[in-house]
Structure 1
Amino acid sequence: MNAEGELAPVVQSILRDARNRDTPDERVSVDARSFADAIARTESKGEIPVIAEVKPTSPTTDGNRTDDPVELAKQMVEGGATALSVLTEPEHFGGSPENLRRVREAVDVPVLRKDFVVEEAQLDVVEADLVLLIARFVGDDLSQLVTAARERGFQVLVEVHTRGELEKATDAGADIVGVNNRDLGKLEVSLDTFESVAPEVPDEMTCIAESGITTTNDARRMREAGADALLVGSAIMDGDVAENTQRLVSA
């Protein structure tokens, strides 16, 4: 794993809290909804696949949303979301496993668990259709965690920021990769990141653009650069989530 000194202080804090959280005793078994099928359904309608994120707050945004996460999720699906991302990290993002359980029961699209998983037992916190693993955070444990997640039935989204991390994700057998436009060291966002890394993503791998996608021009730019889907949080949560989702889906 990279030295924590290379990460922004708030990210270091998130990781420390992640390592100290309690883990369940029982192992989950998931009957996952197909993310690939959901993408195909969206594209068959001539729309852009968007993973809309239920994110009450975050260290990089002002304020928070106190709406019922289930109502937000339903509005996102109404707006055309291909899938949903639900934060389960409590201290810094206002999320919870219970939010994800409730959302997944209320919608029929795939649901991604967005959290900072750093050990195998943390996979068992809650059932989801996809689980996020951040290559930079898990380091040499990536391959083991990918395997452990799939054994439970999860589809695995491996997040990367550099070509080197993409190579590690490929070596670990990842088939869904998310390129995060946010540098976790400086917390700066640049869409150039996706455009630099995406050309190296193998054709058989599903490629998702994450962070910094705000406008319809951003959405089109990421699609032209090779994104199979877009993961969007703040730009959807800031305002009418159904309208914001529809705007990006129809870009």
Structure 2
Amino acid sequence: MNTSEPIAPTVESILAAACEREGGKERLSVEARSFPEAVAEAEKDGRTPVIAEVKPTSPTTKGVREDDPVELAREMVAGGATALSVLTEPEHFGGSPETLRRVREAVDVPVLRKDFLLRGEQLDVVEADLVLLIARFVDDLAGLVSAAKERGFQPLVEVHTAAELGEAIEAGADVVGINNRDLAQLEVDLATFESVASEAPEDVLLVAESGIGSKKDVRRMREAGADALLIGTAIMDGDVRENTREFTTT
């Protein structure tokens, strides 16, 4: 785990909880819905590929949204979402494996498990199509990427710097999320994606994460090379179907 640089206290608390969280009792074998195929289908249909995030709350948002996550997910898909992201971190994001399970049963698009996963056995808690692996916080990134693929998951490896991008590629990542949020200070800068994406190989599918709040931001990220965008707060704040449609309509 690369913690040589300062980390925001909130993130330290999240990581401490993640270290203590147990894994599943049995090794999973998943038949994943293809995220690259879903992205290609969205492009074919003239939609901007968006991963809409079902996020009840987070350390960087105010309040809690208490709507049924399944209904929110269905509305997002109706609005044109290419995939969904579902939080399973309970203490700080109000998520749960059961929520992800219910959502995945209710929709036919790929579903990302968003959590702070540190060890292989933590992959075995719930089936998903993609799993988020944060390069900065994983000791053996190549090992965890391999463990995820062996179970049938598609790893979405999150990075924030060009150095982390290099680690992700070396670890075998095919899908890379570039987080505009610096987890050291929780500050957001869209220029992060532009800088890091310029170093990415052409055959890697790039997802822009965090800070995307308008169609102008969408255009900026797409022009910088984003194949898809992960959008949470800006979709969850209001009518999720209409908000998703706004972001997916070019």
TM-score, normalisation: structure 1:
0.98
- For 2:122, the equivalent position in structure 1 comes to 122
- Counterpart CA distance in 2 for 1:218 and 1:44 is 22
> Which letter does structure 2 place at the counterpart of 1:206?
L
Equivalent residue number for residue 46 of structure 2: 46
**Code of the aligned partner of 1:95:** G
Q: What SS class does the counterpart of residue 168 from structure 2 fall into? A: helix
Distance 2:127 2:68 in 1: 20
Q: Structure 1 residues 250, 53: CA separation in 2 closer, same or farther (over 3 Å shift)?
A: same
Q: Would you say 1:191 and 2:190 are equivalent positions?
A: yes
Give the structure 1 partner of residue 113 of structure 2: 113
Paired residues of 1:4 and 1:12 also in contact (CA < 8 A): no
For residue 125 of structure 2, what is the amino acid of its counterpart? Answer: V
Q: Unmatched 5+ residue regions in structure 1?
A: none
- 2:78 matched to which residue of 1? 78
Amino acid at match of 1:172: A
- Per-residue Cα deviation, 1:16-68 (whole angstroms, up to 9, x for no partner): 00111122210111000010110011000111100000000000000011000
Contact between 2:181 and 2:187, CA under 8 Å: does it hold in 1?
Answer: yes
Deviation at 1:4, TM superposition (A): 6.7
Q: 2 CA distance for matches of 1:246 and 1:3? A: 38
Q: Give the TM-score, by structure 2 length.
A: 0.99
Partners of 1:163 and 1:213 lie apart in 2 by 20
Give me the whole-angstrom Cα distance separating, in 1, the residues matched to 2:92 and 2:71: 22
Per-residue CA deviation, residues 127-166 of structure 1 (Å, 9 max, x unaligned), is 0000000000004x00000000000000010000000000
Q: Distance in 2 between matches of 1:167 and 1:22?
A: 30
Alignment of 1:84-233 (within 5 A): 84-139=84-139, 141-233=140-232
**Does the 8 Å CA contact 1:7/1:186 hold for their aligned counterparts?**
yes
* Number of matched pairs: 250
1:3 deviates by 2.2
How far apart are the structure 1 equivalents of 2:216 and 2:247?
9
Counterpart position of 1:9: 9
1:179–1:209 Cα contact (<8 Å) kept: yes
Secondary structure of the residue that 2:217 maps to in structure 1?
Answer: helix
Identify the residue that residue 67 of structure 1 maps to in structure 2. Answer: 67
- Match of 1:132, SS state, is strand
Q: Is the contact made by 1:54 and 1:84 (CA closer than 8 Å) also made in structure 2?
A: yes
Task: Find out whether 1:28 has 2:28 as its counterpart.
Answer: yes
Matched AA of 1:195: E
**Is this contact kept in 2: 1:179–1:194, CA < 8 A?**
yes
- Supply the RMSD in Å over aligned alpha carbons: 0.8
Equivalent residue letter for 2:33: R
CA contact (8 A) 2:24 2:123 kept: no
Amino acid at match of 1:158: V
* Structure 2 residues not aligned, in runs of 5+: none
Contact 1:86 1:114 in 2 (8 A): yes
CA distance in 2 between partners of 1:48 and 1:200 (Å): 23
Quote the offset at 1:6 in angstroms. 1.4
